[in-house]
Amino acid sequence: MKTLNHSYLSRLDHLRFFAAVMVIIHHCRGSINYSGSITSLSDLASLWIRWGSSGVSLFLVLSGFLFCVIADAGRKDLQYGKFIKNRILRIAPLATLFVFIAICVNQNESTPMDVFRLLTLQLNTGSPGTGWGYKLYPMGPIWTIAVEFQFYLIFPFLAAFMGKNGIKAIAGIILAFILIKTSLVIFNGTGIYYRLYHSIIGRLDQLLIGMIAGYFYINGYFKNTRLIPLVMIVASIIGISIFMHLNSQMLKWFMPFSFTSEAVFWSLLIYGYVTFKIDINQRVDTILSYLGGLSFSMYLFHLAVAKALYMTVLSPHQTKVGALTNTLLFIIPLTIIISSITYRFIEKPFLELRVKYTK
């Protein structure tokens, strides 16, 4: 996503598209599941599909990375009001649309509290399993809007802390949140996982780890070598696979560290991919960048697209291959088409109103 506040890093949009595709395949996987062990490439693929929800974590780490880069690791002054204005222009149009879709469906029982939920960033509450309103419309992913915006509200302060004290200020907050999560797991057991999953308590350190990766990027670490970024990419893929395997076991000892370790490995991928010295065909770069720009719409609309297709033209998939085929050949392409419309006519007009907020 291009910004007035920093030079454009197209590879971040490539990764946004990858994250969106991960989440879509995960949600539309049908009976594909992970058996608990990896003895073949098929098992590895099943692991990544089952835990494709990790694409959400990639989105969050990307956000922390990008905003740290924009803030020059805290060395730039951020004008708080203008920063928040830009974040509202980025998120509010689609968030408001989905809230009012839910209100439309639930007209008889809807109250002003539904709008109040939007205004108070509580779209990740009011539902036992996912985002508010998912029983009214396929809009479960809306919960992430609340978590991201809660981060936006404090980011200028975090950037200032980083500018003054370096990454140790951010690392200290990460440690504090690991301790908080440890206490929650001790008190509630592993059942607390999905409460953490949908909350800023569970997710803040992922955004903070993205900031630390952005700090390293701004300060030029490993930019002048081809080998280290490649090692980072490979280590990330291996590390994420290990994380997914451990997470599938719902191990009590691992849970306080699960979101943190996941973010560390995604940050390696981000840093490695952004700094890897390889020429990408300009047309390929342009296409992937455009698709990355659609990722917010893709993320929010894909469940509605999938449900509509299965209720009209697609037969319910009976096999794992059938589910994957339907997703790749029908659900993702139609989601991209619809997202190109919502981006062009709903998101983009508001994005064009953004202002410069750095000094």
Percent of the chain with pLDDT over 90: 91
Give the predicted TM-score (pTM) of the model.
Answer: 0.96
Judge whether residue 1 has pLDDT over 70: no
Judge whether residue 2 has pLDDT over 70: no
How many angstroms separate the CA atoms of 293 and 282, rounded?
16
- The answer to whether residues 267 and 65 touch, using CB atoms and an 8 Å cutoff, is yes
Judge whether residue 55 has pLDDT over 70: yes
Type and span of the H or E element at 88:
helix 80-105
Angle at 21 between CA 270 and CA 341, to 5 degrees: 110
Judge whether residue 95 has pLDDT over 80: yes
The residue that leads in pLDDT, 318 or 145, is 145
Q: What is the mean pLDDT of the chain?
A: 95
DSSP string, 19-79: HHHHHHHHHT-TT----SS-SSHHHHHHHHHHTTTHHHHHHHHHHHHHHHHHTGGGTSPB-
Which of the four pLDDT bands, split at 50, 70 and 90, describes residue 126?
A: confident
Judge whether residue 201 has pLDDT over 90: yes
Which of the four pLDDT bands, split at 50, 70 and 90, describes residue 5?
A: low
Domain boundaries, the chain: 10-351
> What are 166-179's pLDDT values in tens digits?
999 999 999 999 99
- The answer to whether residues 222 and 276 touch, using CB atoms and an 8 Å cutoff, is no
